[in-house]
Chains A and B, each alone.
Chain A
Amino acid sequence: MAQRQEKNIARFGVYAFLVIMAAFFLMPLYVMVATSLKTMDEVRGSSIFAFPLRPTLEAWATAWNSACTGLTCAGVSVGFFNSLKIMIPSTFLSIMLGAVTGYALSFWRPKGAGVIFAVLVVAAFIPYQVFIYPLVRVLSQVGLYNSLGGIIMVHVIFGLPIMVLMFRNYYAGLPRDLFSAARVDGGGFWDIFFRLMLPLSPPIMIVAVILQSTHIWNDFLFGLVFAGSDNRPMTVLLNNIVNTTQGEKAYNVDMAATILTALVPLVIYLASGRWFVRGIAAGAVKG
């Protein structure tokens, strides 16, 4: 009996700890959601932890389509579509290029493959701030600075090392005989890639999509520097809304805009969390 009681107490302790930690991490989210549902009067009048008495979506509507970002007042919606325009092609291109390069490195092993791979690994760990000024110069030379093409290219370039790393390791875990069999069967470089390797890639593909899309969506610095005023991503607009308000700070609108901006990665994580873990594990075991 005593033993069981001891066990129960221990278990209670563990659960209590977990609940407290969860509450701690969820608290900011709660404050944001609660504040975004309040009117400014209520924000001023109550504690930030107070539950909204008369919940309203007014702040959300304002954040979406009429909050001011500097001179224009069109909310974060413009940024939402800009971010989509940047994220979709950048994610697609960086993954495809990473997959092809990883496939070439692990199966075709061209001369110097080891050196190329080493350079990529090193490149993946250099802080990218170092590259910003040279890149600005290069892009403006070729006329891509401040354009949608320019920002997509920047994302693709910086996403490449980690994508190549992931795909190379994944393909290195596939049996080489498969590749040999496909070669005997008459496959060339692209045949084998599209007909054999890509159909075998969904596990690592899912990880890559999650990694790249959230990373690109959350990017602020590149968007600010390279996208140009017409293509500012949602994160940059959010910053402008929060930092450029005249007079009273509209906390409820700021909160709503922030949640709206964070919604896309949040949904991606929630929808694909299970596959994400599975894919990471698959890559880890086989790599």
Chain B
Amino acid sequence: MTAVSIKDLEIQFGSVKVLQNLNLDIASGEFIVLLGSSGCGKSTLLNSIAGLIDVHGGKILIGDKDMTHAEPKDRGIGMVFQSYALYPQTTVEGNLTFGLRMAKLPKDEIERRVARVSDMLQIKPYLKRRPAALSGGQRQRVAIGRALVRDADVYLFDEPLSNLDAKLRAELRVELKTLHEDIGKTMIYVTHDQVEAMTLATRIAVMQNGVIQQLASPEEIYNRPANLFVADFIGSPAMNFLSGTLGAVGERVEFRLKDGHVLDVSAYPFAKRPSAPMEAILGIRPEHLAISPREGLLPLDMAVNVIETMGADTVIWGTCGAEKISVRVNSELKLNPPRGSMLKLGFSLGSASLFSAADGLRL
């Protein structure tokens, strides 16, 4: 069953089309993360699902009902905002019960729901306090609680952790994941933080310029990015890109690097085997470059430039031909190659990606 279905959505601000022909189907119980940098239209999409902005074309179905122009309150949604948006004039309890009182729910039902949610989120001790007297993490918990008491079918999160410091963010991230597993409701979550996206999502929708670039599981997005944008956006340090020419030589497919190196990429799982020679880009994640090449790995040479120690990992920066690349290795190896020295690297085709240079799509 689909919880939310978006068909040919079109939204414009003035004459600027922010979203165009956008389609997205979200199954019940999914945790969908809309990921993208600012201005990519992810918050616009979320707000249109919430009914907070006007839709100019297309349809939004929630629970199989057409909600394109319905009032936010009638959509069966709960929403958490980046700025918490707690009602400052009332207590935590007042915040939690605000919507329930407006809906004129019976008193004992309100009490039951507040008790359940405040237990779940451990905000019981603050019920009588005002939002101003709470820390950022507590406030966001209350904001999540306010969405949860609504007993909605779909919960919307608009960058809920962005205003918190790194440690709290990691804590609340885990809590959100547990919460999703506990209540099993559909969640749509907007963020620009790829760590949040990778850890929380059942599926990630990577967005750019109002277009969903790829909609897939975190593993798929990470290992098999659909295009150059997704490949570059996800992962830190970013994926290494080497440009070259792809061509068939008899039974074999060869990738000729700019510096003349030739790699045999016949084993690459091509969607369609290239026939004519074409410009292509080879993408390899820094951790997929092995520092001690074994049999069966494709070889690459790197001139060492800078070494960054990052605790568990060490990142070695350098160049391959004229192109900048990085290698992530385990710090336990205690590698410390001198600047300017050459390293022999190897990688397996199974973990590499090939993209067409012309349109950036995965081959």
Contact of A178 with B by CB under 8 A: yes
* Assembled-state Cα–Cα distance A114/B251 (Å): 69
* Assembled-state Cα–Cα distance A191/B98 (Å): 10
| B75 (CB) vs chain A CBs: closest residue | A184
Contact of A19 with B by CB under 8 A: no
Min Cβ gap A207→B in Å is 18
Min Cβ gap A10→B in Å is 44
Min Cβ gap B176→A in Å is 18
| Residue among B51, B71, B98 with max Cβ neighbours from chain A (10 Å) | B98
Contact of B88 with A by CB under 8 A: yes
| B98 (CB) vs chain A CBs: closest residue | A185
| Residue among A178, A180, A187 with max Cβ neighbours from chain B (10 Å) | A180
Tally of contacts, chain A with chain B, CB under 8 A: 62
How many residues on the A side are at the interface (Cβ–Cβ under 8 A)? 17
* Assembled-state Cα–Cα distance A177/B131 (Å): 15
Knowing A199-B89, A200-B88, say if A184 contacts B98 (CB, 8 Å): no
Contact of B83 with A by CB under 8 A: yes
* Assembled-state Cα–Cα distance A260/B77 (Å): 60
Residues of A within 8 A of B78 (CB): 184
Contact of B99 with A by CB under 8 A: yes
Please provide the chain B residues from 48 to 82 with a CB less than 8 Å away from any CB of chain A in the complex: 50-52, 71-73, 77-79, 81-82
Residues of A within 8 A of B146 (CB): 181, 185
| B152 (CB) vs chain A CBs: closest residue | A184
Please provide the chain B residues from 88 to 120 with a CB less than 8 Å away from any CB of chain A in the complex: 88-90, 98-99, 102-103
Residues of A within 8 A of B87 (CB): 178, 181-182, 196
Instruction: Say yes or no: B89 contacts A200, CB within 8 Å.
Output: yes
Residues of A within 8 A of B147 (CB): 184
Please provide the chain A residues from 184 to 199 with a CB less than 8 Å away from any CB of chain B in the complex: 184-188, 191, 195-196, 199
Contact of A183 with B by CB under 8 A: yes
Contact of B85 with A by CB under 8 A: yes
* Assembled-state Cα–Cα distance A265/B89 (Å): 30
Q: Which of A175, A182, A186 contacts B103, CB < 8 Å?
A: A186
Residues of A within 8 A of B84 (CB): 177
Residues of A within 8 A of B51 (CB): 183
Instruction: Say yes or no: A175 contacts B52, CB within 8 Å.
Output: no
Q: Which of B52, B77, B82, B102 contacts A195, CB < 8 Å?
A: B102
Residues of B within 8 A of A177 (CB): 81-85
| B88 (CB) vs chain A CBs: closest residue | A200
* Assembled-state Cα–Cα distance A185/B78 (Å): 8
Min Cβ gap B69→A in Å is 14
Give 7 CB contacts A-B under 8 Å: A180-B72, A181-B85, A183-B72, A184-B72, A185-B102, A187-B102, A196-B87
Leading 6 A-B pairs by shortest Cβ distance: A185-B99, A177-B85, A186-B73, A199-B89, A181-B85, A177-B81
Q: Which residues of B contact A (CB under 8 A)?
A: 47, 50-52, 71-73, 77-79, 81-90, 98-99, 102-103, 146-147, 150
